[in-house]
Amino acid sequence: MPEIDPTFTALPYRELGAVALGRAEELGASHADFRFERIRHQHLAARDGVLQTALDADDVGFAVRVIHRGSWGFASGVVLTADEARRVAETAVAVASVAAEMTSTPVEIAPEPVHADVTWVSSYDVNPFDVPIAEKAALLIDWTERLRQGAAVDHATASVGQVQENKYYADLTGTATTQQRVRLDPEAQAMGAGADTFDSMRTIAPPAGRGWEYLTTGIYDWDSELDEIPELLAEKLKAPTIEAGRYDLVIHPSNLWLTIHESIGHATELDRALGYEANYAGTSFATYDKLNTLQYGSRVMNVTGDRTVEHGLSTIGYDDEGVETQSWDIVRDGVLVGYQLDRPMGAMKPELNGGRSNGCAYADSPGHIPIQRMANVSLQPAADGPSTEELIGQVEHGLYVVGDRSWSIDMQRFNFQFTGQRFYKITHGELTGQVRDAAYQATTTDFWGAMEAVGGPQTWVLGGAFNCGKAQPGQVAAVSHGCPTSLFRDIRILNTTQESGR
C-alpha cells in the first residue's frame, strides 16, 4: 500500500480537530464531527499535436458538523489556526440553534462502531502527481498525432483528469480516519466529416481508481484502441442511417454502465426514494413501499452496491461520517431488496442493513456538508455465462451497442433514452457493419425486464464517470459501475435524425 502523502500528514489537522470537537462538546453538541481535506486536481489536454490545457488546483480546508438541540449545524473554514477551528465549531452550533426552531423531527443518526486512528490508501502504483507534466503532455500529444494519421480524421484530442484526495475525519465517539485515494480519467477522440455528416469516435477505456501505470504498463491496451479508432470513425461516417423499430440489443459494458447509473444507481438512493432529494434531478419511482416487491427486472438481474471494490471510483475505506464501507444487495433475482444509505437514512429506516449505514456519505469539498452519495452500483455476471460473441450469436435481428454518448431520463428515473458511440447491425447472429443515428428508448422496468441473459465474468468491465451531480448547492462525485455484456429482447430503437425533425 502506498504511503499517505507526507505533505498532507504535515498539515495540522489533528490539532485543529481536537480544538473544534472540544469546543462543540463544550457548547452542548450531542454529536460533532470534523473533516479536514486536501483535494488536488490536475487536467491536461492536447489537440492536434499541441498541449492546450495544463490546469492545477488545490482545495484545502476543514468543516465541522454538529447535532445540537435535535438539529444539524454546519460550518467550514480555510484558515488553519486553532482560533479558526474554534470559531467554525461555534458557528456550526449557532446554525443548529437557529435550525432547531424550524425542526419538527429531531435528527438521529445510525450507530457505528468506533474506528480509532485507522489509515486507508487506494490501490495504485504510481501517483500521477509524481510524474512530470512534460512526460504526461508528451503522451497526450503522441495520442493525437497517432489518431490524425487516419485518412478520415480531421482533428484529434486527448486529455487526462487526475485527482488525489486526502481526508482526515474525527468525531466525539473516538473515530479517527486518515485516507488517500487517487483516480484518473483519460480519453482520446478523433473527429471527421463525411459527404453529408460529421461525427467523432473516442476511446471506451473507463476512468479508474488507479495511478499513472494505467496509461503506461499494459493494464489497458491503449495502442490497439488508438490504432482502431480512425478506421471505426471512417466506417461510421459512411454508415447507413438506422431504420427505426424494435430490435434485440447486445449491450457492451462501455455503454451499459451509464444506463445502470441513471436508472438503478440514482433510483435506489434512499433519500430520493423517500422524497428528501427532489431539487436536483428528481426523486425516484422505486419508492420505499416497493421494497422486496418491485420487479425491477428479469430473474438474471442481480445488482450490488459496493464501496470496497478495487479500483472503483466510489471506493473508500471509511465514508465522510466515519462508517466503514461495505458491499450489499440492491436487486436480487430481479427484485428490489436494498437501498444506498447514510447515517441519517439508516436511523430513519432501522430495518435496513441491521440499522446501520452502508457507508454512502460523501462531500466533494471541505466547504460542503456530506450527503448520501452513490456507491459503485454494479450488475453481476453469470458465473458460467456466455461470451460477448455467444450473446451476439443468439440474435437474429438486432444491434450491438458499444460506448456511451448522450442520454435523457425523467425526474423519476423511469422513462429514458440512450445513444452510443457505435451501433452495429446484427443479422442472423453476425455483425454486419455500423449504422448511425440510433437511440434505445424504454422505461426502467420494461428495459431490465427484457434482459434475457448476462455474460460471464470474462465480459465484466468496471466503467464509470468523474462527474455525477447531486444536491443544491451542487456537488460532484466520481463513481464506477461494473457490468457484463448483456442481451435485451425487443427494445424500441429511434432514428435520432428523424426524431429531431431533420
**Residue ranges covered by each domain of the chain:** 6-238, 245-499
Position 502 confidence tier, pLDDT thresholds 50, 70, 90: low
Predicted pLDDT at 46: 98
Task: Tell me if the bond preceding 381 is cis, omega within 30° of 0.
Answer: no
Contact 74, 369 (CB under 8 A): yes
Cα 318 from Cα 115, distance rounded (Å): 9
Q: How confident is the model at residue 252 (pLDDT cuts 50, 70, 90)?
A: very high
Average pLDDT, stretch 357-363?
A: 98
- The rounded mean pLDDT for the chain is 97
The pLDDT of residue 462 is above 90: yes
**In terms of C-beta density within 10 A (0-12 exposed, 13-18 middle, 19 or more buried), how is residue 174 classed?**
exposed
Q: CA quadruple 228, 233, 238, 240: dihedral positive or negative?
A: positive
What's the CATH architecture for 6-238?
A: 2-Layer Sandwich (3.30)
Taking residues 53-75, report their average pLDDT.
97
pLDDT bucket at 77, cuts 50 / 70 / 90 = very high
pTM across the whole model? 0.97
pLDDT of 197 reads 86
Does 501 score more than 80 pLDDT? no
Compute the average pLDDT of residues 5-22.
Answer: 98
Residue type present at position 73:
G
| SS3 letters across 453-476 | EECCHHHCEEEEEEEEEECCCCEE
126-140, 170-184, 186-200, range with the lowest pLDDT: 186-200
Crossing angle of helices 13-26 and 82-100, rounded to 10°:
40
C-alpha span between 349 and 219 (Å, rounded) = 42
